[in-house]
Amino acid sequence: MPTGFCIRVLAIGARYPFAITRQKLVSLRARRRVVGAIALAAVALIASGCFPPGGPVIGNFRCPIDGSRYTDDYGPRSDGSFHYGIDMLAPTGTPEWAVKSGNVHYSLESAGGLVAYLYADDGNVYYYAHMSDTVGGDRPVGQGEELGLVGQTGNATGPHLYFDIRLGNVNGYRPDPYNTLRNAGC
């Protein structure tokens, strides 16, 4: 390659700042990655402000069972799985209540055993698992109406209600229900 050509390219780069050398191009790509990472971190920070530790608080909420004991066991488990709900300990046969008005649908699943999906009028879905029995069939329900009874069906080691919240739909984001349960006085 003639040296005159290289000199002309350097001169063009000096006169036109948009003529970028390979080294500057690599530097811009690295800068773009850093800016992208900062933007992602900012979004995560904003989202964490929307859902405080223990999850959001959903108002006008009825406790799914009365007189239970529970702790905030939402989160990763030692076996690598993730626990998306709260285990509410109560004796077998304790009534389970509709936390909101909506439509209840019952199903039999391997892990959850006998379960209820409450498609609530607020747009969220509330999930009840390990039931020993249902009260009635699939139907519209009012807030506080009995849905079923605590049990230990499916993958359960003792009688309890596994309860989780699914925002927006059955496959929606599942936040920690702890703050909602505490706020409702459960």
In the predicted structure, residue 59 carries a pLDDT above the cut 50: yes
Tell me the pLDDT tens digit for each residue of 105-141.
Answer: 999 999 999 999 999 999 999 999 999 999 999 999 9
Determine which of 29-33, 84-88, 92-96, 161-165 has the lowest per-residue pLDDT on average. Answer: 29-33
Look at residue 74 and tell me whether its pLDDT is greater than 60.
Answer: yes
Q: In terms of pLDDT, which residue wins out, 155 or 17?
A: 155
d(CA 109, CA 98): 20
Positions of E strands within 29-90: 75-76, 82-83, 86-89
Q: Which CATH class is domain 75-183?
A: mainly beta
Q: 177: closest CA among 93, 65, 79, 16?
A: 65
Query: What pLDDT is recorded for position 173?
Result: 96
**Vertex 57, ends 54 and 61: CA angle to 5°?**
125
Residue 82 CA to residue 166 CA, distance in Å, equals 15
Q: Are 67 and 90 in contact (CB under 8 A)?
A: yes
For residue 138, give the DSSP letter: S
Predicted confidence at residue 39, as pLDDT, reads 44
CA 43, CA 22: separation in Å to the nearest integer?
32
- DSSP secondary structure letter of residue 24: H
Report the candidate in 9, 61, 44 with the shortest Cα–Cα distance to residue 179.
Answer: 61
Q: What is the dihedral of CA 167, 146, 92, 67, to 10 degrees?
A: 80
Is the per-residue pLDDT at 52 higher than 90? no
- Enter the pTM of the model: 0.72
Tell me: the pLDDT tens digits for 98-108? 999 999 999 99
